[in-house]
Amino acid sequence: MKARRQMKIQEIITKEIIRTQEDLAYKLHSAGFEVTQATVSRDIKEMGLIKIPTADDDYRYAIPTEVHPTNLQDRLKRLLRETVISMNDTESLIVIRTIPGNAHALAAVMDNTNWDEVIGTVAGDDTILLVIKPKEAVAVVLERLTTLLG
């Protein structure tokens, strides 16, 4: 049942603009799936869905591989400016706090920048952990991020 539901979620978000969990729950109900908001929330996390901008300056759910921005640097700059609350570092890690619900989108863009120093990201709802190698490169990455934040 879960696999069928998640396949339906994938189908829905690739064919329609789904902005909220409530919109997704409604579409699932219309398709015959009895779900709660908590179930939809768990599915979104398990599937690694992200929110990407729409043409009307809103956001919609998307599959991470669906993100193909024409100018990755501009997208990264805009997301950093719109979502970042704070950045902090320790040893070979940088922790970025975002407004809730935006960490996955920002982390997906960061993963696609292919910065040599960033060996990976881990994103929650409002926190991103960047793993940097070598640890001496943390200052370089922080400066790059700060410059983009403008």
Q: Is the pLDDT of residue 137 over 50?
A: yes
Closest Cα partner for 54 from 85, 15, 18? 18
Would you kindly state where each structural domain of the chain is located, as residue ranges?
2-66, 72-149
The neighbour count for residue 47, using CB atoms within 10 Å, is 16
How many whole angstroms separate alpha carbon 134 and alpha carbon 116?
10
What pLDDT score does 140 carry? 96
Provide mean pLDDT across the span 32-61: 89
Cα radius of gyration rounded to whole Å, the chain: 17
Average pLDDT, the chain: 90
Which pLDDT band holds residue 67 (cuts at 50, 70, 90)? very low
- Laid out side by side, the sheet with 93-98 consists of 84-90, 93-98, 127-132, 118-123
pTM of the predicted structure, to 2 decimals:
0.57
Q: What's the CATH architecture for 2-66?
A: Orthogonal Bundle (1.10)
Per-residue tokens: 11 = 């189908």
What pLDDT score does 71 carry? 63
What topology does CATH give the domain 72-149?
Gyrase A; domain 2 (3.30.1360)
CA atoms within 13 A on the CB side of 11: 9
Q: Is the pLDDT of residue 69 over 60?
A: no
Q: Which residues pair with 97 in a beta bridge?
A: 86, 127
Which pLDDT band holds residue 56 (cuts at 50, 70, 90)? confident
What pLDDT score does 41 carry? 93
Closest Cα partner for 80 from 111, 106, 49? 106
